Amino acid sequence: MKSIKTWRLLKRNSFSDGVKFGVKMKQLQFMAIMCTVMLFVVYRTTYYQYKQTEMEAKFSPFDISKGSRFSSGRLKSLPRGIVQARSDLELRPLWSTSSSRKKFGVYSNRNLLAIPAGIKQKDNVDAIVRKFLPENFTVILFHYDGDVNAWRGLDWSNKAIHIAAQNQTKWWFAKRFLHPDVVSNYDYIFLWDEDLGVENFDPRRYLEIVKSEGFEISQPALDPNSTEIHHKFTIRARTKKFHR
């Protein structure tokens, strides 16, 4: 009787072991399939990113390696001085002498003010520019509504640079026209919205604070009584010159 019971017990154990083994095999097969699918997804994603990078490198006009190859090849035949590594946004006379070129080549405390401007904010932009021009600022206006002629009546209009493109954001303009090779000669760059009030703003005093504190990036704090304050930390602290 004991031998029969033992045989039945062994049979049960072997059956349960077989069931467990079968379940484990199914789990391993499922895991193997999932790993294969994940590897395939990773491979396709990596391959797609590689092809995208390859296409961008091929068609990007600001690609450094492509530019260096182009410069070392076709541009060798150009006269010396035509191609330069850097430029700026300073206006120059059509016919320039050697003395005037030397004058424009010297940079001393030169700053840049860039504003995306629509004709509806003409009066406010006018007030902003009049604050900045006396403090040795170069002015560039990004006309997102495409209207440039309406600004010709302002006495400073001919001193400013006007760039027009319909329905584009300030970052679209900035990425294309404020390239590091063009703006690196300026000490400070102000990329301002057109609706900022400047009644109580002094550009010279602001730059004095920025320079004394060694700020690389900053913004003027907003008046506590301003109607459009989206972030509380941008409100001016009454007892401090600045806050971080």
- Dump pLDDT digits (tens) for 75-121: 667 676 666 666 666 666 666 665 555 555 555 558 899 999 999 98
> If you search the block for the tokens 């900022």, which residue do you land on?
196
Helical H runs in the chain? 2-59, 64-73, 98-104, 122-132, 170-177, 180-183, 203-213
- Spatial separation of the C-alpha atoms in residues 131 and 234, rounded to whole Å: 22
- Spatial separation of the C-alpha atoms in residues 89 and 37, rounded to whole Å: 53
Report pLDDT digits (tens) over 133-162.
888 888 999 999 998 898 998 989 888 889
Q: What is the pLDDT of residue 214?
A: 86
pTM for this predicted structure:
0.59
CB atoms within 10 A of CB 69: 11
